[in-house]
Chain A
Amino acid sequence: MNPAVGYAGLIGVFVVTAAIGFYGLRISRTTEDFYVASRTVRPWWNASAIGGEYLSAASFLGVAGLILISGADALWFPIGYTAGYLMLLLFVAAPLRRSGAYTVPDFTEGRLESVAARRVTSLLVVLVGWFYIVPQLQGAALTIRIATGLPSWVGSVAVAVVVCVTVLMGGMRAITFVQAFQFWLKLTAIAVPIVFVLIVMANNGLAIPAVAEPFASNPVGSPPSGTYRNISLVIALLFGTLGLPHVLVRFYTNPDGTSARRTTLIVLALLSVFYIFPTLYGVVGRAFAPDLAAAGTADALVLLLPGRLIPGLAGDMLTALVIAGAFAAFLSTTSGLVVSVAGVISQDVLGGRVRGFRIAAVFSSIAPLGVALMTDSMQLAGSVGLVFAFTASTLCPLLLLGIWWRGLTDAGAIAGMLAGGALCGGSIVLGRVLGSGTGLLGELLAQPAAWTVPTAFAVMIGVSLATKSRRPGGITKIMTRLHTPERRSAAATR
């Protein structure tokens, strides 16, 4: 690929992001603006911002790459990523907004009236955040290598540094604008090139039936993933989404519970539209770029496909656009995660000053960078899937039982989170150590959510029942606050 094209895409996305951040910074001046971009952020803006933060390297590059490798089985990934928001809407969105909690640890402390439970939750949020940042940085490494020919580590370091600087400069204020913009950038960057590709294919007489054979083809002879794996994956994605720290923070910027629901509804629509396109890349890629799967760079499919099928300047411009979109994905997801992780660290460890937040932000960018540089990248969608499994086994039971069951106690919550975290984390590590084993044990370790999530729930419920005396005293008031709507006049004047 022509490096100039890569640089053009990169510089474009950095400049535009900085410009919008600066514009947003200028029009938001008060403390109110800083914390509660809330009361004036309309559902459409907020939904775009959530989409911008959520669509990560795994969605932008990983899904198409996985479809290229494993075909129809990979379609469960985008389904899970989207349906996770349905679960979030059904069980979490409005009550979490009404709880008034800004982060998951805040929610835990408010609901369970326990500092110990808060500490455990904070630890898990930090772990989840860091392990979610790692694949973003690995995606950046891959993109830099392919787009500019520079060594891989440059990409990881560049994203970590840019995010760190943005967060340090106090970019929180502008973040809703930036994230919302980046959603639409990502959608444009992934949609426009594939539409051109399809038009070119149609002009060359490659009608749809002519490419029907890629649906059945199997470029690397990967075996079908089996029923257990698919079910376990869907469980991880469905229940993992509702514990993701950077997603939950965004719900606080809704004015009330009702608009939290409306926002989620719009997010679902935006994601549904978005995921059509990675699927198209995957399908066209199976026909025209099967060699990428064999070469082990399937995740680069989205970056390389437009240039392969459209020659000349047009192809170069489309490639620059996809590269810009990919970097928007790394930057927005990483900065959302760094901000939420740094917020938790600074509150719980560093005493909550702005200085503490800055130290925590640097630390939160560097720690995952170290991990990203030391480990080989797996397939992006796959490694993000494991983070979802971990969240589903720890934070998801806490939120679901905390919101809907009066009987949850702090002891139960801690025991359940530790059990789920140890089992899920342990089997992910063990699965990596043992390699991709076959047989029942290999399957159970490779995709653990199907058994770790129910176990975490069972432990949480069991221990809570055994420690009934520890139920918080103010539970009636808490449950009332979580579930009753804001008063009507407030809703009417919105």
Chain B
Amino acid sequence: MSPDATPGPNPPRRVRVTAPRSQARRASPGYPVAREIAEESEVGQVFVRSLIRSQLRLAVVVAVGFLLILLAFPLLLAWVPGMDRATFLGVPFGWLLLGVGVYPLIGLSAWLYVRTASRNEARYLDLVEDE
């Protein structure tokens, strides 16, 4: 259902959708058998486990970092003297931090995560597809 898939001269015939999809597709098409075997070998499992570990570590580090900074915002407002009364263009600092400032932080964390996670996966593919 892509926006540019206009019906051509011979559009595919309309079919009735019947069966539900309780058993969803298990593998992506063309998931190579050779790779599946490689991944089930002992060496392959070492690679898989190390990939899972590094992805989990990355996710936890980003999440904890984000939450610590988020926690620092209200603490900053409470503890830095005068901060709760400080304003910028008439808007109190607290409102700016929570109403606007958090969002770039979320975006930055997400972007960093996606970049590093993709790099981890590329490294894994290098290992496995060389097997």
Tell me the number of A-to-B contacts counted with CB atoms below 8 Å. 173
Interchain CB contact under 8 A, A79 and B113:
no
Tell yes or no: A196 within 8 A of B by CB.
no
Q: How far, in angstroms, from A261 to B2 measured CA to CA in the complex?
A: 20
Tell yes or no: B19 within 8 A of A by CB.
yes
Q: Which A residues are within 8 Å of any B CB, using their own CB?
A: 24, 26-31, 33-35, 37, 40-42, 45, 72, 75-76, 79, 82-83, 86-87, 89-91, 94, 100-102, 106, 110, 173-174, 176-177, 207-209, 211-212, 215-216, 227, 230, 234, 252, 256, 258, 261-262, 264-265, 268-269, 272, 275-276, 279, 283, 343, 346-347, 352-354, 357, 404, 476-477, 479-481, 483-488, 490
Q: How far, in angstroms, from A476 to B90 measured CA to CA in the complex?
A: 58
Known: A208-B90, A261-B117, A352-B22. A90 touches B2 (CB 8 A): no
Interchain CB contact under 8 A, B100 and A276:
yes
Q: How far, in angstroms, from A212 to B96 measured CA to CA in the complex?
A: 12
* A421 smallest CB distance to B (angstroms): 24
Tell yes or no: B99 within 8 A of A by CB.
yes
Q: How far, in angstroms, from A120 to B57 measured CA to CA in the complex?
A: 30
- B contact residues, range: 35 or more
Assuming A176-B1, A279-B99, A347-B22, what are 17 further A-B pairs, CB within 8 angstroms? A27-B7, A31-B15, A45-B3, A76-B98, A82-B102, A83-B66, A86-B109, A101-B24, A173-B1, A212-B87, A215-B91, A265-B110, A272-B104, A276-B100, A352-B22, A487-B125, A488-B125
- The answer, among B12, B21, B109, for a CB contact under 8 Å with A30, is B12
Interchain CB contact under 8 A, A102 and B24:
yes
For residue A405, which residue of chain B has the nearest CB? B56
Q: Which B residues are within 8 Å of any A CB, using their own CB?
A: 1-3, 5-7, 11-15, 17-28, 30-32, 35, 39-40, 45, 48, 51-52, 55-56, 59, 62-63, 66, 70, 74, 87, 89-92, 94-95, 98-100, 102-104, 106-107, 109-111, 113-114, 117-118, 121, 124-125, 128-129
Task: Give chain A's interface secondary structure class.
Answer: helix
